[in-house]
Amino acid sequence: MIVDSHCHLDFPDFAPDIDAVVERARTAGVGTMLTICTHVSRFPGVLAMAERFPDVWCTVGIHPHEAANEAEVDAETLVRLTENPRVVGLGETGLDYFYDNSPREAQRRSFRAHLAAGRLSGLPVVIHTRDADADTAAILREEREKGPFKALLHCFSSGKDLADLAVEMGLYVSMSGILTFPKAEDVRTAIADVPLDRLLVETDAPFLAPTPKRGKRNEPALVVHTAAKLAEVKGVAVEALWAATTDNFFTLFDKCARPTGSAPQTDGTV
């Protein structure tokens, strides 16, 4: 099996055919999907998806685009929202200086609150960062000094310095369909030295459909194309890439139950 570690199944793009979307994912070999919260105010709809499908789990958090639009929440409030057994992580949170849809200081406050919630709960934090590598790195270092947390740089499109910092801090890096784009050579170079045991794959559906489906609505079934490209970049067999990224997901999101019959590798090889 393979895992889609980041999608948005509650988005209206999927409302007309959500059952078919999930079934196509299963047929493609996607055994687990993580649907990601972007608005705390819409969290009930995100949670409903995780409660509707046994192979779907969810997070709770505020996207940096919404940091000034959503009511500001503290770490303790976020932790309380993770008490449902279907909630296995926090976010997505982080910094987006490309669009600047929310003031940067509001983004930074929200980011720190999510990392604090990660320390309190022990759950991983899903981090979005775009055109904000320096501030993201600085906040990660400052917050780590207050205590450990688990985290994932999702939809990685940053530079090698941030990838190296993630490895140094024991964080994970997730690759989206961007990895397959012809002009994304910088991304492929940046993750070349990221160890296989720190990598995940995702769709970010309904966005960023991978080649050869670029331009269409993305969905979890298409994560297999990103996985194939990542296997090529890392120089491993596709089957080994599926096994490694699946194991990595359940190591990081350890509140998420692994499907029966999807045993982790035990011989130390990939």
The model's pLDDT over 106-136, given as tens digits with 9 standing for 90+, comes to 999 999 999 999 999 999 999 999 999 999 9
Q: What is the chain's mean pLDDT, rounded?
A: 96
pLDDT band at residue 262 using 50, 70 and 90 as cut-offs: low
- In this prediction, residue 253 has a pLDDT band, given cuts at 50, 70 and 90, of very high
Distance CA 252, CA 151 (A): 8
Which residues face 96 on adjacent strands? 130
Q: Which residues are annotated as a binding site for a divalent metal cation?
A: 6, 8, 92, 128, 154, 204
For residue 126, which of 99, 89, 165 has the smallest C-alpha distance? 89
Q: Which residues does the annotation place in the binding site?
A: 6, 8, 92, 128, 154, 204
- Which one has a higher pLDDT value, 37 or 266? 37
- Spatial distance between the Cα atoms of 146 and 234, rounded to a whole number of angstroms: 34
pTM of the model: 0.96
Domains of the chain: 2-252 (3.20.20.140)
